[in-house]
Chains A and B, each alone.
Chain A
Amino acid sequence: MTATLDPPVRTSPLLDATRPPLRPVPLRGAAVIAEVAAAGLTGRGGAGFPMARKLAAVNAAVTVTGRTPVVVGNGSEGEPASSKDRVLLTTAPHLVLDGLAVAADAVGADRAHLVVTPAAVAAVRAAVAQRSDRVPVDVVAAGEHFVSGEETAVVAGLEGRRAVPGDKFRRVVESGVHGRPTLVQNVETLAHLGLIARSGAAWFRSRGTAAEPGTALVTISGAVARPGVFEVDHGAPLRDVVGLAGPRGETPVLVGGFHGAWLAPHEVAGAAFCRASLGTFGASPGAGVLIVLPAGASGLAETARITAYLAGQSAGQCGPCVNGLPRLAAELGRVAAGHGSRPDDRAELYRLAGLTEGRGACHHPDGTVRLVGSALRVFGARS
């Protein structure tokens, strides 16, 4: 982690609505993978997987299976506290479509799907109609579950099934939409790709840190004066990032959304917005969601409510998730209500967390357990 002294925001290349579409596509095939690898671009949907490795994995699967791949831009954004994908898609849809076109050329796809929140469908379709990309782009409304943006859920939705996560015995890069090798990338990641295709890896690396280059879109909400979407440098001081939205007081911040982790005020003051720094607090930038806890609110009670919400957002497919999440929410609610003074209550929460974690088709239980664990860590001492 390199803490930068620069202000966290200079300009927002991602949210520039005036940039014309990129024509023709300047990078193709292996050149794209090389440039993306040099740029060090990672996925902005939450998991942060290196895009170059995903591109290479799709190409390898194409070689093995001999099937033509599919590319999917994922703007499902099931997280209710995130709106960066919707803002990006409605502000600069062409930049996302540029990235989608470059990605399609890089893997030799003949079909591209763009899955977006229902609110963005019209704007994105209008942008698609203005272009003449080699690979036709089909714009689809995303499912409305919290988990609908998960890679396998997106594939299921595109195949006409219910958009809920599926089993991962076969990876999506090997066997995705209708069994074809499939590249699923978050729409912000594609927008970064669109910029890298124009300006190159060195330009991309001019912001962010050496280990985590580039910028990221964040959505800041909660107890702030100016909630909204901002483009920030990786490695920027977290306090400055949150400061963009005008937080009302120095309160804990939920970093990474409902599957993220709480940071105490003194931790917010010392952390930087990157994996390396946030990782030391059990957090990660995730999809860039930052929620500022209102002063006077109970972190445990709010987390119990979030956990109950997450329980209700389970796709209802996996036993440990369906059974475990409501129990976690109820036990955390008990602890929040002041019944948590006995060590037994705390032990029961940790036991339930252990029963739930790592036992599902997707990471919904794991993310929920992470949230609950961080709440106990940050707010636990008070009860």
Chain B
Amino acid sequence: MQRRTITVSGIVQGVGFRPFVYSLASQLKLVGFVQNRSGQVSIEAEGSLTALDHFTEQLRSKAPALARIDRLSSHSIPVRHENHFQILASETTLAADVFVSPDMAMCADCRRELFDPADRRYRYPFLNCTQCGPRLTIIHRAPYDRVNTTMAAFEMCAACRAEYENPMDRRFHAQPIACPACGPRLQLLDEIAVPIESADPLASFVAEIKQGKIGALKGIGGYHLVCLANDDAVVNRLRQRKHRQQKPFAIMVRDCTQAAKWCRIDAAEQQRLLSPQRPIVCLRKRNEAVGISDAIAPGNAFLGVMLPYSPLHELLLDCVGDDPLVMTSGNRSDEPIAYQDADAAERLRGIADRFLVHDRPIRVRCDDSVTRVIAGRESPIRRSRGAAPMPITLPFHCPQPVLAVGGQRKNVFALATGTHAFLSHHIGDLDDLSALDSFQRDIGLYEQLFGITPRVLVHDLHPDYASTSYAIQRAKRESLLAFAIQHHHSHLASCMAEHGIESDVIGVVFDGSGFGGDEAVWGGEFLIGGYRSFKRAAHLRPVRLPGGDKATKEPWRVALSYLTMASCDAEGWRSGIDQAIGPNAVRIVQQMIDRGFNSPWTSSAGRLFDAVAAITGVRQTVHFEGQAAMELETLALQSDCAQTYALNMTDPVDTRPLIRGVVADCKNKVDTTLIARRFHNTLAAITVQTCIQLAKSASIDRIVLSGGVFMNTLLATLISEQLEAKGLNVFTHQRVPANDGGIALGQLAIAAHALQSGNIALKSR
């Protein structure tokens, strides 16, 4: 007979951990108790030695799906000879130690109840339990108790309360617990958001959708716009109303079998689709995707697909049947997704024909996560619902609380304390007022939720990012230390941090643009270094960026720049754009390039894609970020050619031979798929050759790939495979996005490292 005290920390509260411990202890005939104590679970268990060993082992191996055990310590104490095992009332908890769980997709048990006619929650769209349901999106403040959530306004009925209070029930302390008698209800609204009487709002809504109408659906982290995905007319109408001309829409389908009708799905992708995070997964479209409108993702080899994640979605898809649904963010153009009812009613007016809403307020705007799988490894595009605010473990201890404010677009901020890095949900483009509001408000929320009061603020080097201004002003106001980190250094550190790499690496950072601190715009970088410092070892040969950000929307400008640099005539192309763009504009842009007027130098890899897309006639202007590169990739994927264009052997980052090769191919009317493929091959070769040279000279064999350009599956795969074939170790992003959604993690890691080594003067302002 022995007694042990066991302390478990991690995500162990609000996830059904105590009932689990209780039943495990009962099975093993142990006595003692379990109790929540300031964010940890304390257990005292008494019984035979083997039973106790089993118990300790199974605490980890059989823990509830939502739980995450970060630490488990146990030691022996004197026996007490009790009679039974019990759940003791919680000690008041300190916010600091409690992790708030992300919002989780409906669990299998709840799903069973949802479709069980005998269950009291049969077809109730808001059922949930300790294993599933809304979390981050409904919380006002820590600790995570019902009174501190948007469920506070709903008084539990007797039946729900009994479940809530019963340690043996799977809804024991399920904060958002609800049922048809006491919980949120659906409501149908017309096109100007005026309530419509309906006995079955969901059925009425679905009937409208089936007739080709556009619906606004209030979900977990915001509003979606919904319509049939197989109806060209309605999809195009949605594009028009939303002012979203070509950017792909995500679709929601019933299950994997449906998804497989239109997309090729491998095991890793299926696992992501079905995971409790339920992200949008970008899947390769089948060649003949019949039954899905071409207007969903025009010119794109991939289709963003997700499965229902809330009971409301399940019921919706159940009513709709086998038809796929467009499920896109409820907004106009590029603004943040609407999540507050009044705001949604106003902003979605003129877009939605019907609204299906409910009376459970959303507190935190949280977009769907987006991911993809490259060569069996996950490669996140947006880490948001389902993932945030789950912490990422830092490779070393952060000695002081730090806030990293991230970038400008695709903003994500992050807080660190100890070894935990809490990355926020996707905040979005800080040019937009409501995104900037969320940024400021949700920083406050996270600080309160995790009990972190930052002493140090880190921001990007760019002076005009709204996040930079926020950090500088706040540091001044609160007398905190603020320092700037170069954009691509953050990218590099971000990839290192998620892999726990501590020593120096070679970082290939390819993205759109980042402030270099030297008047130039960086973005095709080969860096050598680590958290502490870095050296810009090589970069793509710079070109003029005529019109700055304007050039990002008009690839023909960058093409003109590249052609000028490479001294190519490309007469055919020039006369083509004279026609398409107008000779006057082309002449003026040429003049800007020649004189360097409002045309900063840039080494951006993203712009190289744009230039090639324009020269090959794929497109001269883009409707959304990355469109030209995506379309170029789509074309390249249709060829399996292995050829490259000529390389400059002495100076591999010289892109002029590549441009000349592309121009020659275009002149010879070579098929665009082939040109696109040769371009990808060449950029991969340039990268690989440069890395091999640097690896040799610096004696480093670890290569990290980061930056938004690595969203490109083909490029990432080619580079990784070739570098690995040379015996180098390649690290790609698997937990945070390679794009700017990941830079807050890098900023944190650099700051934490600097603080730890007393090297805080690093690039300090």
Q: Do A and B bind each other?
A: no
**Residues of chain B having any CB pair with chain A under 8 Å:** none
